[in-house]
Chain A
Amino acid sequence: MPDAPIVELTKSRVREFIREPEAVFWVFAFPILLTLALGFAFRSKPPDRIPIGVIGPHAKEWSAALAKSPVLLTRVLEAEEARDQLRRGKITLLVEGDAQPVYRFDPTRPDARTARVEADDALQRAAGRRDVIAAREEHVSERGSRYIDFLVPGLLGMNLMGTGMWGVGFSIVNARMKKLLKRLIATPMRKSDFLLAQFFSRLIFLTGEVTFLIVFAWLVFHVGVHGSLVTFAMLCLIGGFAFSGIGLLVASRAKTIEAVSGMMNLVMVPMWICSGVFFSYERFPDAAKPFIRALPLTALNDALRAVMNDGAGWLQIAAPVGVLLAWGVVCFALALRVFKWQ
């Protein structure tokens, strides 16, 4: 005996998807590869040492003292060569002088001033200066502040958008082109069952996608979810719902794959750029920000970052969640009204 129509429709959609190896690749492997590439490209590393040069009769002695600084990279140079390198910025500071050291540098360069302070400190210590008070250093490496921490929620949001819209849009237009939609409404099937099955099957894939990406990001980059996992999961479902709704609306009348692809790109490309996937939308002019924040992907990314990096709860993400729900509900409602079955 078959199950209820909604269950059978959802099963069919899931089967159709998992039997399409290319689709599985784009949904699962692509975001992983992107995370991997960008994660390594922008990984956190200790700041480079500042290159400086030493010349003059004390060059050997001074360079031994300067080598103790963890910040400086010291080289003993010939006078002419040293001037040339300083001019071309290959070294930021030149230590010269016959008896007393002379620091030659461009004071408008922050790294040159750092080098000057470091070099002087090293030489003074070597000459016997002792600290009057003993200070202690404590290094800050806040989790959630690295680029990868910014990137992973953005990629997750982008993936939820892409798979939500394509997953629903492509399959609907395909079924319309094959006249399968028309054949289905020639049965007693409820139209709402069909549309809900699209949504439910999305939620099933979404669970897999999100788990896969999050476990990967945690294992490889130690990107964790600081907030509640339940809040995080619910947020992903709300995001999936919003983008399924938009996908349904975009696909509600399109007759060809080309037409729906064009419309999908029209909807998605501005969000890839504006919604803070790869870089923060704070860089856009203030006048544009209210519009950017009203975009569903911005709302999802903001909420995901708040939950993953800042451990935010529902109260703090109420605004973006409201934006997402509004997009989802309005688009679903509109799609149901304008949907063309044949």
Chain B
Amino acid sequence: MTESAIHCRDLRKYYPDVKAVDGLDLYIARGECFGLLGPNGAGKTTTIEILEGLTPADSGDVEVLGLRWNGRARELRERIGISLQETQFTDKLTVIETLTLFRSFYREGRDSDELMRALSLEEKQNARVGKLSGGQKQRLAVACALVGHPDILFLDEPTTGLDPQSRLQLWEVVTRFREGGGTVLLTTHYMDEAERLCDRIAIIDHGKVIALGTPAELIAKLEASNIIEFTSDPPMAGEAFADLCAGYHGCAKRGEGWQLRVDSLAEAVPRVLAIIEKSGAKLVTLSTHAATLEDLFVALTGRELRDA
């Protein structure tokens, strides 16, 4: 058996109105940073909470650090650190009091002072939690997850709603934790976060893994490195593009306009312009960007990550 941090097979969790997790397999190696990427309601949180031993699965098998939750829960809890989506700590306690409380639950752990320095919270150590900014609260949540010196760090949407600077700070904390040999499992609906932090990513939709691999591998699945998007007046009809689409990896109607996935912008853009001109329409907007995970998600599901 290789050194797995987390291994689950055929995980299922059905709620009356939704199949939150519908046959999920994951293998996460020790030292890896693994991302669950998907839109809201895709089943990310249910999945991570099953792996954290907080929600029982209907069926399937979960191993964390080679142990099963059943009967080994306390031992496992000593070795993992968790940041839930939207936990609110007690407003009336200070940062240091909160951290000391959480430290008391673990047999071994990190020094609170050192941890506050690592998370840039030392200036706020005597501030009440209720007075902290969103980013500071989130750093405190991560500090509480790290205080037991865990082998695995679970982060459920750690940067949702944070300003860019706070996001960068949190990313740095995750990076440093990995340098110490830690394993990270995080969920996010930010593709840039997943690309930046994760060694491997599983894209999840409707409780299933629809794509799995390193960020580069996943983007390569698009078989196109660039995306062209444009709108015209009047909007172009599909027939005008029939032969154009044939030559590329994908072309789809996006709102009033069109989106094309192409290898070479230099070759494709002039062709697009020529076709529009030939049809007598006027070009209104034209934009291009390098292909991202978001584009992969759209290509796989026909929906956007953010508002899917």
Residues of A within 8 A of B (CB): 2-5, 7-9, 11-12, 15-16, 19-20, 175, 178-180, 182-189, 342
Contact = CB atoms under 8 A, between A and B. Distances in A.
18 contacts: A2-B103, A2-B104, A8-B100, A8-B104, A12-B93, A16-B93, A19-B92, A20-B92, A178-B87, A180-B88, A182-B84, A183-B82, A184-B105, A187-B105, A188-B74, A188-B77, A188-B78, A188-B148
B54 A182 contact: yes
B59 to A, nearest CB: 21
B101 interface: yes
A187 B77 contact: yes
Nearest to A2: B104
A9 B77 contact: no
B87 A183 contact: yes
Given A19-B128, A180-B88, 17 more contacts: A2-B104, A4-B104, A8-B101, A9-B101, A12-B90, A12-B97, A15-B97, A16-B93, A20-B92, A178-B88, A180-B87, A182-B84, A183-B87, A186-B54, A187-B106, A188-B105, A188-B106
| 7 tightest Cβ-Cβ pairs between the two chains A and B | A2-B104, A178-B88, A8-B104, A188-B77, A19-B92, A187-B105, A189-B105
B248 interface: no
Interface of B: 52, 54, 74, 77-78, 82, 84, 86-90, 92-93, 97, 100-107, 128, 144, 148
A342 B101 contact: no
A203 B107 CA distance: 28
A180 B104 contact: no
A178 B88 CA distance: 5
Contacts of A342: 54
Listed residue (B77, B86, B100, B105) with the most chain A CB atoms within 10 angstroms of its CB:
B105
B125 to A, nearest CB: 14
Contacts of A20: 92
A178 B91 CA distance: 10
A179 B84 contact: yes
A19 B88 CA distance: 17
Contacts of B77: 186-188
Contacts of A183: 82, 84, 87, 89, 144
Nearest to A184: B105
Contacts of B148: 187-188
A326 B54 CA distance: 33
A16 B148 CA distance: 24
A5 B74 CA distance: 14
A251 to B, nearest CB: 16
B93 A15 contact: yes
B102 A187 contact: yes
Contacts of B105: 5, 184, 187-189
A183 B81 CA distance: 10
Contacts of A178: 87-90
B88 to A, nearest CB: 4
Nearest to A17: B92
Contacts of B88: 178-180
Contacts of B102: 187
A2 B144 CA distance: 14
Contacts of B92: 15-16, 19-20
Contacts of A16: 90, 92-93
Nearest to A341: B54
A249 B103 CA distance: 29
A186 to B, nearest CB: 4
A3 B104 contact: yes
